[in-house]
Chains A and B, each alone.
Chain A
């Protein structure tokens, strides 16, 4: 209890120090004291609620996410105060969603009963976006309800994970052994692989149609990694490689904007005031940060990089906190990913295992692609950094996933004694 509470205090002290620094250089309006106070109160009350209701799951997950959240909020205040005001609201709502899932969802296993419904929900959400969505920055991934915009693809992440977990929990053996042979390889039959492949292809196809190429890449890697994890067959990983190469090449020759993006990626300096502006400015910012950073509020990236508050917030962090700060943020994400995978290992049922590990893989893949994008290892993709970037849809859906993780962790913690754990290992894996 003391442990969990002191982690919250540490998180809050990081946020208040950041806000204090911004205040000292005159970059903080006084209304943020109110927002930050509400946020702090919510974190402390949440910690008390966990104690009161007897939360027995992973103790590190939420504090680490809250630290990322605090860093994100401080940087948003610094980059764009009006967006930061919204983000405080989203952060508070996200915490409420988290506790809601943790305590009101009595048994996460029930979610596994709706397997095809989750797959269908994912498709419907994407179809609705494609038909009714509005196009922002080239991608049709937004739906507007009056004033509020919403990105369904974030919710699709949740639905797709639930579908994959429930489906693979049921069909694991068939996928890993296979029923008919092609040469040396045995492949699963159409009935087993069919529904999974169908939904996978539709999801990726719809994302490609919306031109959300970054999200499509995340989903593809997510599916491949999850199948590999469940079946432990290298075949699926090997099969994935040519698929990426072929679709990538096809995309390059089919879509003009992909060609432009690749060209500016290969050489952003040629047109550093036009198409290459964003990546060039991001690299100027990152390289200007050097080892220890320019200090909070001293960078140019926050002004110069287009979309500094959402897709490129990591570049701003890397500039103002330097390599040290950027690595700290990466380490926090590594902790989250590894904790999620650990929860997966400990989960009592196969659905919980796959779901928890899947959430870990999703977050890991998202962060890796963003990291590769801002360091010019991959062409730009335009994904929000979970819990850090500005954006309500991403915030809420990631808190939803975090709630599920905590729920799985909580369930497994008291339904198994140590002896049962060792026994389970014999039965399940």
Chain B
């Protein structure tokens, strides 16, 4: 059969032809493919570059690379405490968290010095850059110990300069045992790999701090008294107080202190949807937060973060943080810090300094104002309401004797038949704030019960360290 010979020719020619496919990818496209952001090959640079260390503001080691038997091993001496913030880097599982976001810096790739070029040309061994974070591991430990066993997040900032002091997310994992525990971690309830500080939740009553700005800016008289009867009807929909409690006659300060839903719904409507949307935008809703890690944009509606208009019912629910409002604990901490810092939200920083292997400073964070949602007087008014919430209102579980604290609770309904998310935002000392905290406990119940004690412990520790002259 001569047919066999023809077939043989066809097959061999096909093989030759398809081999050009290999030439195309392995020779022609090889460099272009390396630049594709989804390509994880960069991880192999670590064979000759020693990844820089990560330290807290006082020099406590959070992550470092040690050489054991000629192999580079990444250590996380603090175990679970700083995870998933730090993340991991693994040939097998890729990288995540700060290790992924700051890979270029940690490997010193964005350094264009002549020495660097020589080192690269000869593929010499070299060291990456070290990161000095703004975190304080003493505060981090308090927050971590308090939140452990629950799901949620604690974020604390220095309101005066935007330094992130605490960033705890629970549940977390031990990156030292990533390879061994991978299966277990991925299956564990509560998503340990997910940084809950950057997840979005309905804010509940802590949203009233934002709504307050709308009331002021619409020129409403906040000394006016309002009779809270425990419920009100807006456009055919009944708005209830928590536990159907009637607060009686309240002004703005008391309404915030008692967390009166009907007051904020009715006054919000009086202020108008336009003022409300302006206020939320001024607080950073619908805006990308300038930060070293990705934080999702907070939103009033799922389709458009800050819409042109809202229907009346959704608007009323949004004024006290229900409806479709979604915000991350990290953004809530920024909002709190803004109130604390006389109405100015400072750009948040996690990285304080970047040092090269010779301890030269490659980068240093500088305090900058990000947004100014409130005037100084307006910030003062919100603060007074929040102080009253601690002395007389729902936020009293967070009170510390001898210290003036401003705080607000939230118990946000997550939808479905599950218990509420517990929120607590606070700053202290009220007259000269050194720390602003946001705590979220998923399905924790009330903000005063589940979240307030955590914020209180962090604030106590911060004030104690401050006393110590730190």
How far, in angstroms, from A429 to B43 measured CA to CA in the complex? 60
Q: Would you call A303 and B2 a contact (CB within 8 A)? A: no
Contact A303 to B11, CB < 8 A, known contacts A229-B4, A284-B36: no
Q: For chain A, what secondary structure do more than half of its interface residues adopt (helix, strand, loop), or is it mixed?
A: helix
Q: Is B287 an interface residue (CB 8 A)?
A: no
Near A by CB (< 8 A), chain B positions 45-93 give: 91-93
User: Which single residue of chain A is at the shortest CB-CB distance from B8?
Assistant: A341
- Expressed in whole angstroms, the minimum distance between the Cβ of A289 and any Cβ of chain B is 6
| Interface contact B1-A287, CB-CB below 8 Å | no
Within 8 A of B (CB), among A342-400: 344-345, 353, 357, 360-361, 364-365, 367-368, 371-372, 375-377
Q: A229-B3, A300-B40, A353-B1 are in contact. Are A323 and B27 (CB under 8 A)?
A: yes
Contact B41 A334 (CB under 8 A): no
Q: Is the CB–CB distance between A298 and B1 below 8 Å?
A: no
Count A-side interface residues using an 8 Å CB cutoff.
52
Q: Is the CB of B18 within 8 A of A372?
A: yes
| Given A291-B27, A323-B23, A377-B21, residue A300 in contact with residue B4 (CB < 8 A) | no
- Check A288 against B41 for contact (C-beta < 8 Å): yes
Q: Which residues of B contact A284 (CB under 8 A)?
A: 33, 36, 38-41
* A376-B21 in contact given A300-B91, A322-B26 (Cβ < 8 Å): yes
Query: B243 on the interface (CB 8 Å rule)?
Result: no
Question: Is there contact, CB below 8 Å, between B18 and A286?
Answer: no
- Our pick among A300, A334, A364 for the contact of B43 (Cβ within 8 Å) is A300
B30 close to A (CB within 8 Å) = yes
Interface hits, A132-188 → B, CB 8 Å: none
Q: A228-B3, A230-B3, A341-B4 are in contact. Are A287 and B25 (CB under 8 A)?
A: yes
Tell which of B5, B25, B36, B91 has the most Cβ of chain A within 10 Å: B25
Contact of B91 with A303 in the complex, beta carbons under 8 Å: yes
Q: Which residues of A contact B14 (CB under 8 A)?
A: 364, 368
State the interface size on chain B (CB cutoff 8 A): 37
**When chains A and B are docked, how far (Å) is the Cα of A280 from the Cα of B38?**
8
* A273 contacts partner chain B, Cβ-Cβ < 8 Å: yes
CB B93 to nearest CB in A, in angstroms, measures 8
Does B44 touch A at the CB level, under 8 Å? yes
Find out whether the CB atom of B12 lies under 8 angstroms from the CB atom of A334: yes
Complex alpha-carbon distance, A360 and B26, angstroms: 28
Closest to A371 in B: B18
Find chain B residues with CB under 8 A from A368 CB.
11, 14-15, 18
Shortest beta-carbon distance, B94 to chain A, in Å? 8
A73 is an interface residue with CB less than 8 A from chain B: no
Complex contact B3–A334 (CB within 8 A): no
**Residue contact B41 to A300, C-beta cutoff 8 Å:** yes
A-facing mask of B79-121, CB < 8 A → 1, else 0? 0000000000001111000000000000000000000000000
Please pick, from A231, A281, A327, A345, the residue contacting B22 in the complex, using a CB distance under 8 A. A327
A376 and B25 CA atoms in complex are apart in Å by: 10
Minimum CB–CB distance for A290 against chain B, Å:
5
CB distance from A276 to the nearest CB of B (A): 9
* CB of B329 to closest CB in A, whole Å: 26
Q: Does A330 contact B (CB under 8 A)?
A: yes
In the bound assembly, the distance between CA atoms of A397 and B167 in angstroms comes to: 58
Q: List, in ascending order, chain B residues with CB within 8 A of A225's CB.
A: 7, 10
User: Cβ of B38 and Cβ of A273 under 8 Å apart?
Assistant: yes
Closest to A268 in B: B38
Enumerate A247-287 residues with CB–CB distance to B below 8 Å: 269, 272-273, 280-281, 283-284, 286-287
Contact of B34 among A287, A322, A375 (CB under 8 A): A287
Assess the B24–A375 pair: CB atoms within 8 A: yes
B21 with A371: CB separation less than 8 A: yes
A345 to B7, CA, bound (A): 12
Determine the residue in chain A with the shortest Cβ distance to B37.
Answer: A272
* A337 touches B (CB below 8 Å): yes
B29 at the interface (CB under 8 A from A): yes
Contact A228 B7 (CB under 8 A): yes
**Which A residues touch B2, using CB under 8 A?**
232, 429
Q: A59 contacts the other chain (Cβ, under 8 Å)?
A: no
On whether the beta carbons of B26 and A269 are closer than 8 Å, the reply is no
- CB of A77 closer than 8 Å to a CB of B: no
B92 → chain A closest CB, angstroms: 5
14 of the cross-chain contacts (CB-CB < 8 Å) are: A228-B6, A230-B1, A284-B36, A284-B40, A303-B91, A303-B93, A337-B12, A341-B8, A344-B1, A357-B7, A364-B15, A371-B22, A375-B24, A429-B1
Besides the contacts A345-B1, A364-B14, A377-B21, what 20 more A-B pairs have beta carbons closer than 8 Å?
A228-B7, A286-B25, A288-B33, A290-B30, A291-B26, A300-B91, A303-B91, A303-B93, A318-B22, A318-B26, A327-B22, A330-B19, A337-B11, A337-B12, A341-B7, A345-B5, A357-B1, A360-B11, A371-B18, A371-B19
Would you list the 9 A-B pairs with minimal beta carbon distance, nearest first?
Answer: A375-B21, A229-B3, A287-B33, A272-B38, A364-B11, A284-B39, A323-B26, A232-B3, A371-B18
Interface residues of chain B, those whose CB is within 8 Å of chain A, are 1-8, 10-12, 14-15, 18-19, 21-27, 29-30, 33-34, 36, 38-41, 43-44, 91-94
